[in-house]
Chains A and B, each alone.
Chain A
Amino acid sequence: MARPEEHTTRSRDRVGTPWAGEGAGPRAPRPAAYPGRVRARLTGRSAVEHGLRALCLAAALAPLLMLLVVTATLLVSALPAIRFSGLDFFTGRVFSFGNLYGGTPTVHHGVAAPHNASYGAAPLIVGTLLTSVIALVVAVPIAVGGALVLVERIPRRLQGGLSIFLELLAGIPSVVFGLWALLVLGPLLAQHVYPTLARLGVLVPFLRGPVGNGQGLLTASLMLAVMIVPIVAATTRDLLRTVPVLHKEAALALGMTRFEAVRVVTLPFVRNGIAAAAILGWARALGETMAVLMVSGNALNIFPYNLYAPTTTIAATIAAMLDSALTDATGMGVSALAEAGLALLTITLLTNWIGRQIARRTAGVPLPVGRGF
């Protein structure tokens, strides 16, 4: 398929405006010299077109506006909490709204919060990073391997059919993932897999200890892995189709096995694109809310003591705790959650931006928007 950039506005302007064809004939007066209606006929830009152009420009600016509104709203709302906690937000281990039913409010840095309130988000940040990184480590090999088989070994006719499963995984709502992990995956793992893993704890301390009921760090991570596989796999699939056939054939003609051809030719060609897709998948895992909320075990103020321990994430905490934050008369609870949201927004914006920069600089395939549809 031809690259879409081929027909640009520039080429249209050259054809559409008679005076732009420089050279032959006497120079036509500049269109600005004519009265409005004549100018409209000469340039082909009527009032209707100007209107449409303006409307479309407004629409094109809407995403930027939405981004600005979201960021500004969170920032303004978070300011009191930022002043109250300072750097304790990142290092503090206790995230508590304090005594919401009485007691004298504590005043700190000129901001009042309920008695005993403390907004330390370290466990949330650690939980967010741990779940998403484990998910990424599990998902990337599966996605890349699956995409390799799909593109390199399976006939083209079947590829489309198998790709439906990627779309399906990308489209399943997060509450349905959560329901599945809560009712099916978690109990299954806790009964049959985790006890075996725990026996390996003799060697690896993080695997030791009680395996719990299947709601916790590892279950949440594995579920997240399933959720981010489609982003990475769909991008890798599209990238693999851009690898020049001649290079692959040359490798095979030299007597390489297909595995060696993949290792020497294909993978170096798509490496950067896969990295970009992985970063995008990571961003999705960082921000996932409902599914994690349902299977993380909703730990409060503890760091996970082993791989099966309950944990929580920033996103899940915001969803879970806003209800009680609303009862905080000082408004500090809502503000602290806004600060957590701001931290999450910053991390995901950065990861998205880095991923897209890598893709723009090095890979020939545009990254999918959002979920990888």
Chain B
Amino acid sequence: MRSIRRSAADLGFWALCSLGLMMIVGPAVWIVVGLLRSALPLISFRLLAQDTAHLGLQNAIVGTLVLGLGVLVIAGPVGVGAGIYLSEFAGRRLASVARFFPEILAGVPSIVVGYAAYVLLVVRFHWGYSLLAAILAPSALVTPYVVKSTEVALRQLPTSLRDGARALGLPTVTTLRRVLLPPALPGIVNGMVVALAISTGETAPLLYTAGFSDANPTPSLLHHPVGYLTYVVYTDIQLPSARMHQLANAAADVTLLVLLALILVGRLLGYHSARRAARMSL
């Protein structure tokens, strides 16, 4: 028989742990539902049609999209290349060294990267507040996520795939292109989705690289500031006007909706690649 004291301790412990779980789920629901409830009514077609000078968000939404696209163009190939190298080409020892740097890079505070980009790109290189600087700074921050997911996606593949390709005498390049990359694709794309999600939500690396502009982004990479959503959230909530506050809330809402969509896509891709890996390893 367990003593009452031990049973009580057991009960108390699990009650406290459940409280912990509630304090994880609670804030997540609180933030998302709270923001959606207060800001969804503020979302209207007007936001898309007008720029921020006229209480719309057109330039910010377009800017965020362009920046996200640019980050994918830079971080995507670099991350996938590095991931392929780590999983396919590097020896065990070299891989463990080369794996270390992306991990460390992901831990660098975003404002530090933003500040370095400001000093080097905006000032030293005379780029000014510009699209290119605003793409490079967050790219550095999110590349590690693409590296990691590419490497993991390739390593998860069953050994039999590689053995089969080798038995057929396929060159490495063909093996990669025809045998390994297709089944690893959902995992790799998932990494890009995560990278996109994080860069969409970032503000600190953009503050002093993108500047801000009330006009839509121009095709020129240098010397033209770019507007983006998170800046509107940060700035307009500090302005002394109810309509500006509404605009900040609406911008936060749009950012959050984009993120929710990306998390959902990531989930589906992760589920898809896990099922695929499980099916193949039989």
Residues of A within 8 A of B (CB): 1-2, 4-10, 12, 15-16, 44-46, 48-49, 52-53, 55-64, 66-67, 69-70, 73-74, 77, 141-146, 148-150, 153, 162, 164-169, 171-180, 182-184, 226, 229-230, 233, 255, 257-260, 262, 280, 283-284, 286-290, 293-294, 315, 318-319, 322, 334, 337-338, 341, 344-345, 348-349, 351-353, 356, 367, 369-371, 373
Contact = CB atoms under 8 A, between A and B. Distances in A.
Contact of B109 (A59, A143, A287): A287
Interface string B7-32: 10110011011111111110111111
B34 interface: yes
Give the most central of A10, A173, A338: most B CB within 10 Å: A173
B128 interface: no
A46 B29 CA distance: 54
Interface in B108-134: 108-113, 115-116, 118-120, 123
A145 B20 contact: yes
Given A255-B2, A257-B2, A371-B198, A149 B234 contact: no
Contact of A148 (B17, B35, B152): B17
A205 to B, nearest CB: 28
Contacts of A280: 107
A166 B112 contact: no
B112 A57 contact: no
B6 A173 contact: no
Nearest to B197: A171
Interface in B90-107: 90-92, 98, 100-107
B20 A60 contact: no
Give the most central of B80, B112, B162, B260: most A CB within 10 Å: B112
Given A46-B171, A141-B20, A337-B115, A7 B105 contact: no
Interface of B: 2, 6-7, 9-10, 13-14, 16-25, 27-32, 34-35, 77-82, 84-86, 88-92, 98, 100-113, 115-116, 118-120, 123, 140-141, 143-145, 147-148, 152, 155-156, 159, 162-163, 166, 169, 171-173, 176, 194, 197-198, 200-204, 207-208, 230, 233-234, 237, 248-249, 252, 255-256, 259-260, 262-263, 266-267, 281
Contacts of B233: 175-176, 178-179
14 contacts: A57-B85, A60-B98, A150-B21, A169-B27, A175-B203, A176-B233, A255-B2, A259-B14, A287-B112, A289-B111, A290-B203, A293-B234, A344-B109, A349-B107
Given A56-B88, A77-B119, A257-B2, 19 more contacts: A9-B90, A10-B91, A49-B172, A59-B77, A60-B82, A61-B98, A70-B116, A141-B20, A142-B23, A148-B20, A149-B14, A171-B262, A175-B234, A179-B252, A257-B10, A260-B10, A293-B234, A315-B109, A318-B111
Given A53-B89, A57-B89, A166 B104 contact: no
Give the most central of A67, A145, A177: most B CB within 10 Å: A145
A230 B147 CA distance: 21
Contact of A341 (B77, B115, B172, B263): B115
B13 A259 contact: yes
Q: Is chain A's interface secondary structure helix, strand, loop, or mixed overall?
A: helix
Nearest to A59: B81
Contacts of A178: 233-234
Give the most central of B25, B141, B260: most A CB within 10 Å: B25
A168 to B, nearest CB: 5
Given A70-B116, A319-B204, A12 B162 contact: yes
Give the most central of A15, A44, A166: most B CB within 10 Å: A44
